[in-house]
Amino acid sequence: MEQAGCKSGDEKLSQIRRAKAEARKMRPACFALSAAVLAFSVCIPGCVKQTDTSEKLRDLEFTVLDKEAVPPELSGVIEEKKEKPFQLSYGDQGVLYIAEGYGGQPTSGYSVEVNSLYETEDAVCIRTSLMGPEKGEETEETVTYPYVVVQLEYIGKDIVFN
């Protein structure tokens, strides 16, 4: 005899099968909904207008330092990293130093030129170029490590090397 509120094993099995069948029918709808949500969320960043923080606010005044004028702390780090290209910044007592090196070069006669140094809303941007020996310039077959260090008034923003 069955107790009130209890179902027989066959009825439970039948109920489980119906639930599974209903779930299978809903899979395509759930998949489609998930795909639509994913597609929408991927589209959102492309649809939102972002302000361009790379717009130049102003050119910055700077001084290119001779190797002897570079602070010893920064000079030591440069010495450790000079064999490979590097990008460094160092702040000390209201002064910002930015250094960029191009790693080992096969001969003498290489130098680094600062093309631009400017401030944006979020960053200080610097663009440098590696300059090779001039045509006809006498060079030595020795590995050199060209780099540049600039000094400017301290600005508490990220440094972007272009």
**Residues 110, 75 share a domain:** yes
Q: Are residues 157 and 86 in the same domain?
A: yes
* Same-domain check for residues 111 and 146: yes
34, 50, 66 - which closes a domain: 50
| pLDDT confidence tier of residue 119, bands split at 50, 70 and 90 | very high
Q: Map 102-154 to HEC letters.
A: ECCECCCCCEEEEEEEEECCCEEEEEEEEECCCCCCCCCCCCECCEEEEEEEC
Alpha carbon distance 105, 112 (integer Å):
12
149 & 79 share domain: yes
Among 77, 88, 76, 60, which residue's Cα sits nearest to residue 148?
Answer: 88
Domain match, 24 and 103 both:
no
Residues 81 and 46 occupy one common structural domain? no
Same-domain check for residues 132 and 73: yes
Same domain flag for 34 and 70: no
One domain for residues 46 and 72: no
Residues 94 and 138 in one domain: yes
Question: Residues 89, 152: one domain?
Answer: yes
The number of distinct structural domains making up the chain is 2
Q: Judge if pTM exceeds 0.85.
A: no
The model's pLDDT over 57-94, given as tens digits with 9 standing for 90+, comes to 999 999 999 999 999 999 999 999 999 999 999 999 99
- Residue with the bigger pLDDT between 1 and 91: it is 91
**In percent, how much of the chain has pLDDT > 90?**
66
Q: Which domain holds residue 88?
A: 58-161
Query: What mean pLDDT do residues 125-153 have?
Result: 96
CB-based burial, 90-122: b 16+ in 10 Å, e otherwise: beeeeebbbbbbbeebeeeebbbeeeebbbbee
Which pair of structure tokens corresponds to residue 110? 């290489």
pLDDT band, very low/low/confident/very high, at 35 (cuts 50, 70, 90): very low
